[in-house]
Amino acid sequence: MAILPIYTYGDEVLNKVAKPLKKVDEKIQTLIDDMFETMEQANGIGLAAPQVGVSIRLLVVDVSCVKEYKHVPPMVIINPQILETRDEVLMEEGCLSIPGVREEVWRPDVIKLKYRDRHFQEHVEEFDGLLSRVIQHELDHLNGELFVEKLDSKTRRSLKETLEAIKHGEVEAKYVLAEKSHVA
């Protein structure tokens, strides 16, 4: 397994709509293992493939480090599709691609999700609470969207400098970041 560098705010791969997977071959299995290792090393609870520079509809989630979710096994989610949502809630979010920024975001509490697992088996399942939150945040990455884009204009203005700095590679994290290819 390998630790993969994480792409940060301003990198083009994070703004792209990722491609669906047609199957899970050996290369994808390795990528999944590497994504879990990368996420764990960065103390993350969710990671989407575009965050490691691969523009495909795949994400991994592991919330077992959170007390109430201790028994929830790690999840691989491929080609996810939200079928239903209900009950908006406010919850604080952070993102491994935007180090140091944490803000409260409104999202549905409950989602009904259709997805495939790492064996490409299809599931339809309902999620709520933290698990639902992480899945929705990661699913946004597959659509080229970041949580800071969901904030009100005042909060966004207050983050402008921080985000500009990250865009120009002026950022540090306790995990490996991908090098900026277009530093102005």
d(CA 85, CA 128): 10
Min separation Cβ 22 and Zn ion, Å: 25
92 has catalytic annotation = no
Closest-by-Cβ residue to Zn ion is: 95
d(CA 139, CA 143): 7
Min separation Cβ 26 and Zn ion, Å: 27
CB nearer to Zn ion: give 31 or 44: 44
Which range of residues in 95-103, 107-115, 128-136, 163-171 is near Zn ion by CB under 5 A?
95-103
Burial class (CB in 10 A: 0-12, 13-18, 19+), 152: exposed
Which segments within the chain are labelled E, that is strand?
46-48, 58-61, 75-94, 102-116, 122-127
Residues 55-94 vs Zn ion: string with x where CB under 5 A?
Answer: ----------------------------------------
The first and second tokens of residue 156, run together, are 């966004």
Burial class (CB in 10 A: 0-12, 13-18, 19+), 3: middle
Query: How many residues of this chain bind Zn ion (CB under 5 A)?
Result: 1
Q: How far apart are the first and last CA of the chain?
A: 34
One residue of 24, 45, 95, 148 binding Zn ion per CB under 5 A: 95
Among 84, 126, 138, 145, the one annotated catalytic:
138
Min separation Cβ 27 and Zn ion, Å: 23
CB nearer to Zn ion: give 54 or 95: 95
d(CA 46, CA 130): 11
By CB under 5 A, is residue 134 in contact with Zn ion?
no
Write out the binding residues for Zn ion, residues 18-47 only, by CB under 5 A.
none
Give the footprint of Zn ion on this chain (CB under 5 A): 95
Residues identified as active-site: 138
